[in-house]
Structure 1
Amino acid sequence: MANPITKSLISALIALFLISSSFASSDVPFIVAHKRATTKRLKSGIERVSVSIDIYNQGTSTAYDVSLTDDSWTKELFDVVTGNISQSWERLDAGGILSHSFELEAKVKGMFYGAPAIVTFRIPTKAALQEAYSTPILPLDVLAEKPVVNKLDLAKRLLMKYGSQISVISIIALFVYLVTSPSSASKGSKKKR
Structure 2
Amino acid sequence: MAKLNSGIPIFILAALLLAASTIASSQGPFIVAHKKASLTRLKSGSERVSVSIDIYNQGSATAYDVTLNDDNWSRDVFGIVAGNTSVSWERLDAGVVLSHSFELEAKTKTVFYSPPAVVTYRIPTKSTLQEAFSTPILPLDILADRPPEKKLDWVSSKEN
Quick one: distance in 2 between partners of 1:152 and 1:62?
Answer: 52
For residue 75 of structure 1, report the CA deviation from its aligned partner. 0.6
- TM-score normalised according to structure 2 size: 0.78
Q: Note the 1:69-88 alignment, pairs <5 A.
A: 69-88=69-88
For residue 152 of structure 1, report the CA deviation from its aligned partner. 7.8
The amino acid across from 1:145 in the alignment is D
1:98 alignment counterpart: 98
For residue 26 of structure 1, report the CA deviation from its aligned partner. 1.4
Which structure is larger by alpha-carbon Rg, 1 or 2?
Answer: 1
Q: Deviations over 1:102-151 (max 9, x none)?
A: 00000110111110000000000000000000000011110011112446
The amino acid across from 2:129 in the alignment is L
1:62 alignment counterpart: 62
1:116 alignment counterpart: 116
Q: Note the 1:42-53 alignment, pairs <5 A.
A: 42-53=42-53
Quick one: distance in 2 between partners of 1:133 and 1:93?
Answer: 18
The amino acid across from 1:136 in the alignment is P
Considering fraction of residues, name the structure with more strand: 2
- TM-score normalised according to structure 1 size: 0.65
Secondary structure at 1:26 match in 2:
coil
Considering fraction of residues, name the structure with more helix: 1
Percent pairwise identity: 69
1:37 alignment counterpart: 37
For residue 67 of structure 1, report the CA deviation from its aligned partner. 0.1
For residue 27 of structure 1, report the CA deviation from its aligned partner. 1.2
The amino acid across from 2:95 in the alignment is G
Quick one: distance in 1 between partners of 2:152 and 2:99?
Answer: 41
User: Structure 1 unaligned runs (5+)?
Assistant: 1-24, 155-193
For residue 39 of structure 1, report the CA deviation from its aligned partner. 0.3
Quick one: distance in 1 between partners of 2:42 and 2:88?
Answer: 30
Number of residue equivalences: 130
CA RMSD of aligned residues (A): 1.5
The amino acid across from 1:39 in the alignment is L
For residue 60 of structure 1, report the CA deviation from its aligned partner. 0.1
Q: Deviations over 1:71-105 (max 9, x none)?
A: 22011110000000000000000001000000000
The amino acid across from 2:85 in the alignment is I
Quick one: distance in 2 between partners of 1:89 and 1:28?
Answer: 18
Quick one: distance in 2 between partners of 1:27 and 1:118?
Answer: 22
Where in structure 1 do 4 or more consecutive aligned residues deviate above 4 Å?
Answer: 151-154
Quick one: distance in 2 between partners of 1:42 and 1:27?
Answer: 48
2:142 alignment counterpart: 142
